[in-house]
Amino acid sequence: MTPDRTPIVAFHRLIPGIPAPERADRSGLGGLPTRAFRYCDAVTTAAGYGWHITAPLDFTLMWDGHEILWTCEELEHEWMPLGLGAVQYPHFRARFDEEVPQDIRGFSPPFLTGLPEPGVVQMWTGLFVRTAPGWSLLSRAPANLPRSPHYEQFEGVVEFDKWFGPLFTNIRMTRTDIPVEINQLRPILQVQPVPQFAYADAVMNASSVTDAFTQWGDTEWNAYRDSVVTPAMAEDHQPGRYAADVRRARRGQGCPFAAMAAAREAAPAA
């Protein structure tokens, strides 16, 4: 049998030379408080879950309350209205038409697209994505990094195993008449792999709610003692017990998906 070498997520750069996606950093690019980085596995795991994506170039947006304007160095910082149309990444269309099959010429993806909703613009990252069967990609603002007060980003879950398409983000401007710089000094997106069964109706409808005082038994109260009472009463109580326990369990059990990936890398080519 031919070994399965399909990665969970495969990124494809259409725009030459743009930064490659990078594994998200558990320290929040060094911005997490030291105490959180040392003791809070919940925060560091969220920060390091997925990949960071930067914008394909430095550019600036401004919303005047009616339409969105944009500019970049290639435009010599002249403000250009976006309207409900679309603009190409600078000099990309000609390169695209030179490289692609003849019937695909003229269909280069737009870089920025004005959407009908007030103050909303769609930005293409320059990437296409393919996920392994049964996997989707959650696109969101970077986890646990400070966010701009001038814009928000919509989150989206895309089933890239069924649709081979561009990775983009929808940006909603929240203030008017303020130039908003989007640059490559920090990521604009964090994308995270999600198994599709995780958000299936069967899973989403399978939650429960209990009232502790009337419905908890020995199992729940014993677990409460272990997680809350015993650590609080210990004379040598140390912070980060949860983080230490999780890391210990993680090392002991291993990660099945990491093992699968290692097996794919180790398998000889067919």
Q: E strands, the chain, where?
A: 9-13, 22-23, 51-53, 59-63, 68-72, 80-81, 86-87, 112-114, 120-131, 135-140, 151-153, 156-158, 165-173, 180-182, 189-195
Q: Which amino acid is at 4?
A: D
pLDDT of residue 41: 87
Neighbours of 17 (CB within 10 A): 8
| pLDDT surpasses 80 at 70 | yes
pTM, 2 dp = 0.84
Q: Which amino acid is at 171?
A: I
Q: How does pLDDT run across 153-188, given as a tens digit for each residue?
A: 999 999 999 999 999 999 999 999 999 999 999 999
> Which among 54, 184, 62 is positioned nearest to 126, based on CA atoms?
54
Average pLDDT over every residue of 71-83: 89
- Dihedral over Cα of 97, 102, 107, 108: its sign: negative
Q: Three-state DSSP class for 256? A: helix
Contact 67, 90 (CB under 8 A): no
Going by C-beta distance under 8 Å and a sequence separation of 6 or more, which residues neighbour residue 122?
112, 113, 114, 115, 168, 169, 170, 171
| pLDDT band per the 50, 70, 90 thresholds, residue 244 | low
Instruction: Supply the mean pLDDT for the chain.
Output: 89
| pLDDT band per the 50, 70, 90 thresholds, residue 86 | very high
Contact 177, 119 (CB under 8 A): no
pLDDT of residue 234: 81
Q: How does pLDDT run across 225-235, given as a tens digit for each residue?
A: 998 998 888 87
Contact 114, 121 (CB under 8 A): yes
Domain regions of the chain by residue span? 9-202, 206-266
| pLDDT band per the 50, 70, 90 thresholds, residue 44 | very high
- Dihedral over Cα of 158, 146, 57, 177: its sign: positive
The share of the chain scoring above pLDDT 90, in percent, equals 73
Q: Which amino acid is at 270?
A: A
Q: Three-state DSSP class for 252? A: helix
9-202 adopts what CATH topology? Deoxyuridine 5'-Triphosphate Nucleotidohydrolase; Chain A (2.70.40)
